[in-house]
Amino acid sequence: MKYTQLGRTGLKVSRLVLGTMNFGPQTDEADSHAIMDAALDAGINFFDTANVYGWGENKGRTETIIGNWFAKGGERRDKVVLATKVYGNMAPDGATVWPNHDKLSALNIRRAVDASLKRLQTDYIDLYQFHHIDRSTPFEEIWQAIDTLVQQGKILYAGSSNFPGYKIAQANEIAARRGGTIGLVSEQCLYNLAERRAEMEVIPAAQEYGLGVIPWSPLHGGLLGGVIKKEVQGGRRATGRAADTLKDPAARAQIQAYEDLVDKHGLEPGEAALAWLLTRPGVTGPIVGPRTAEQLESALRACELELSEELLAGLDEVFPGPGPSPEAFAW
């Protein structure tokens, strides 16, 4: 496993990030623990979760599964760079939603971090991420809450997720004016071959302010994982967003061109999509969310791939991306 610094920090993290969103909803606790053990054995030290994972009636379940894994000992917690998120309301679906139980008020941040620490069975979180922008709470208040948590030793760093470029700039400019606040050190964004809009402003802003970029959905909901090939071979058919996308003839032709291109180079589509992200400027590492040990093994193989210039050029032809800002929408 290769490692890199998380943005401008001294923190060393693996080039693959273990995403845990499937732990609980799709993968039971025993298999989740086995996947985390396998990831750690392979050198993956960066684990990502969120307080709302588990979803519906089971919000918080994923953090609980991770906490139970930490409780097994074996220096599991010490070896892991742990990232979780705050923003969503933790009330079960259908339950009464009380004011101040979501978003990024100082009150909810304080409440949410303590609840996450309890579920995770740890006394600190390495990277505490804002899951979404909060248009109602000023960054002065957010940073005051984060400063307190850092002073208390409950968190070490703060990061963002799903932020536009201007909010990354705003957050870190206000942090700089306050002084004594490290500001955002990472941005977790939707970024993959089929969805490259982050290249316009989000990733340049992250690079300018020294944030590590952590792409989520690197296979775009399975669309880049060989969906047509599996369909032809009689395997698992595309579902959800991937299935909806393939109903569009133009989109299907684009994915077919992608699968044909990587097949020509002797590569598996999902592994090529991950390997491409590892070549992108500013990217710390993509989040892989395996449901099974086999899916984790496939993701690990992507770390060993060297993509040729010919293949990279071909990928740009199939998925050209928007181009940088402002040229993407102006002269």
What b/e string do you get for 180-203 counting C-beta neighbours within 10 Å, with b at 16 or more? ebbbbbbbbbbbbbbbbebbbbbb
* DSSP state, residue 101: S
User: Rounded CA gap, 7 and 121, in Å?
Assistant: 27
Going by C-alpha positions, the residue among 89, 144, 145, 141 that lies closest to residue 115 is 89
Q: How are the residues of the chain apportioned to helix, strand and coil, as percentages rounded to the nearest 5?
A: 45, 15, 40
User: Rounded CA gap, 129 and 87, in Å?
Assistant: 9
- The active-site residue, picked from 53, 157, 191, 258, is 53
Q: Burial-class residue 264 by CB neighbours within 10 Å (0-12, 13-18, 19+).
A: exposed
Q: Is 166 among the residues known to form the active site?
A: no
Chain position carrying tokens 């402003």: 201
Maximum distance among all Cα pairs of the chain, rounded to whole angstroms = 59
Please tell me whether residue 202 adopts helix, strand or coil conformation: helix
User: Rounded CA gap, 162 and 168, in Å?
Assistant: 10
Residues 6+ apart with CB under 8 A from 16: 1, 44, 46, 274, 285, 286, 288, 299, 300, 302, 303
User: Rounded CA gap, 198 and 204, in Å?
Assistant: 9
Q: Which residues are catalytic?
A: 53
